[in-house]
Amino acid sequence: MLDIRFVRENPELVKENIRKKYQDAKLPLVDEVIELDEKNRAAITEASELRAQKNKLSKANGPLFGKLKKASEEEKAAIQAEIDANMAAVKANDDRLAALEKQEEEYAAEIYKRMLLIPNIIDPSVPLGPDDSCNVEVERFGEPVVPDYEIPYHTEIMERFNGIDMDAAGRTSGNGFYYLMGDIARLHSAVLAYARDFMINKGFIYCIPPFMIHGNVVEGVMSQNDMDAMMYKIEGEDLYLIGTSEHSMIGKFIDTIIKEDQLPKTLTSYSPCFRKEKGAHGIEERGVYRIHQFEKQEMIVVCKPEESPMWFDKLWQNTVDLFRSLDIPVRTLECCSGDLADLKVKSIDVEAWSPRQKKYFEVGSCSNLGDAQARRLKIRVDGADGKYFAHTLNNTVVAPPRMLIAFLENNLNADGTVNIPKVLQPYMGGKEKIE
């Protein structure tokens, strides 16, 4: 969320940013915010003046009450009349002040409602484009290989090892769920455990967060459109199932003031994730690619504004390094303006190579949100020159089972066995292959 003063002073810049994000329908919001802000500031000014007048009138009555006690009968009527006039003026002020305070609340609510919808200012380096078809490849890591033998669909690979049962999950929970079993389930847990230790070795603090959060935290960490499309709400409770542990990890700092010398906060978190995943999807997004429940290792950073670009590069590089340690070729993709969620300043997707599809697919996303989340959640830093809003960043370390698709395809042998990279073998009981 932008600073209201920034919108007030830079309306055309804010509008141009909206155009860059191909959200022209939101352009009227800027003028509406400015108009409401003017009315709100006028109400605040008038209310302040009335409070000053009230204090002046109240103070004036003090001496008059003293005079009244000492006055002659002839003087009392005039003094009492002056007291009554002052009290009437105070009463009129109180009535007007109550109306103004109500107006202030209404204006503030209307401003906030619109400010939630105005997108964050994107970084100048972000490529322009209306949707993900305009995302730009940045760099490839590892050589993408297409073997001379067939790579089956990922659920077929899992079924060879009796590692998945989606039919049973359909009966218990519906579409978009699964049972993982045996070595495939073990592989799933091994990848998460390895990712946890990988990030701990990078200096991040391991955390297991709440898996449900209040509505105000949801509103603070994501855009309204994303909230409606993703989140499951607990019936009758002000609680939502998290779509990613970033939500509760950033929420951890709500309404806090962090000493500047305590930054950066670097945390890595495990959680299940729950997503509605609305819409129809093609065959490549079936199986365990797009599901309602999965587990993930996440990383988040809370830092000083000037350090967020540096941390952004560190975060996506961590994901690249992890996938390469598992013998999976990846590439980075710069998200274009139209593909950025409203709170994001800049974002890079990490995509893994699929030898079956002969193309890359998304396995993680790294985002710099500037001070948008911190402003919504009131996450401030106490610095040498005063208080300011922190910057927040998040990135996927690894999210099986989608990551398992890339793992199985890239480590599958011609005889149907699956290689276990050396770094993962300790988490698989020393196994070198699944067979």
- The identity of residue 98, as a single letter, is A
| Pairwise CA distance, residues 122 & 202, whole Å | 29
Distance of CA 289 to the CA centre of its chain: 22
**Residue spans of alpha helices (H) in 202-268:** 215-221, 224-230, 245-251
> How far is CA 269 from each of CA 240, 297, 323, 424, rounded to the nearest angstrom?
18, 6, 18, 19
What separation in angstroms does the CA of 275 have from each of 176, 216, 397? 10, 18, 18
Task: Give CA–CA dist 160/270, Å, rounded.
Answer: 29
The pLDDT, as a whole number, for residue 67 is 63
Any idea of the CA torsion for 200, 204, 206, 209, to the nearest 10 degrees?
Answer: -150
Q: Which CATH class is domain 132-434?
A: alpha beta
Is the pLDDT at 281 greater than 70? The verdict is: no
How confident is the model at residue 306, as a pLDDT? 97
Question: What percent of the chain has pLDDT above 90?
Answer: 78
Mean pLDDT calculated for residue range 20-27: 97
| E strand or H helix at 346 | strand 346-354
The whole-angstrom separation of Cα 326 and Cα 264 is 29
- Per the model's pLDDT, the better-predicted residue between 339 and 227 turns out to be 339
Return the pLDDT at 280. Answer: 45
**Distance in Å from the first CA to the final CA of the chain:** 51
User: How do residues 77-116 score in pLDDT, each as one tens digit?
Assistant: 666 666 666 666 666 677 778 888 899 999 999 999 999 9
pLDDT surpassing 60 at residue 279 = no
Q: Mind listing the pLDDT tens digit for each residue in 172-223?
A: 999 889 999 999 999 999 999 999 999 999 999 999 999 999 999 999 998 7
Q: Residue 250: exposed, middle, or buried by beta-carbon count in 10 A (0-12, 13-18, 19+)?
A: buried
- pTM for the model stands at 0.88
Confirm if 228 and 222 have CB atoms less than 8 A apart.
Answer: no
DSSP helix/strand/coil, 196: helix
132-434 has the same fold as 4-115: no
Asked if the model's pLDDT at residue 123 lies above 90, the reply is: yes
Please report the pLDDT score of residue 87 as a whole number.
Answer: 65
Are the C-beta atoms of 2 and 374 separated by less than 8 Å? no
Evaluate the omega torsion of the peptide bond into residue 329 and state whether it is cis, within 30 degrees of 0.
Answer: no
CA distance 70 to 64: 10
Q: Where are the domains of the chain?
A: 4-115, 132-434
What is the distance between the alpha carbons of residues 371 and 304, in angstroms, rounded to a whole number?
10
Q: How far apart are CA 405 and CA 45, in angstroms?
A: 61
Name residue 293's beta-bridge partners: 274
The pLDDT-based confidence of 27 (bands split at 50, 70, 90) is very high
Tens of pLDDT, residue by residue over 413-433, are 999 999 999 999 999 999 999
Q: Is the dihedral of CA 155, 159, 161, 165 positive or negative?
A: positive
Q: Which of 247, 191, 200 is nearest to 219 (CA)?
A: 247
Mean of per-residue pLDDT scores for the chain: 91
- How many Cα neighbours within 13 Å face the side chain of 431? 15
Angle between helices 308-325 and 182-201 (to 10 degrees): 140
Query: Cβ(198)–Cβ(397) under 8 Å?
Result: yes
Q: Provide the CATH topology of domain 4-115.
A: Helix Hairpins (1.10.287)
Q: Average pLDDT, stretch 22-26?
A: 97
pLDDT confidence of 290, banded at 50, 70, 90? confident
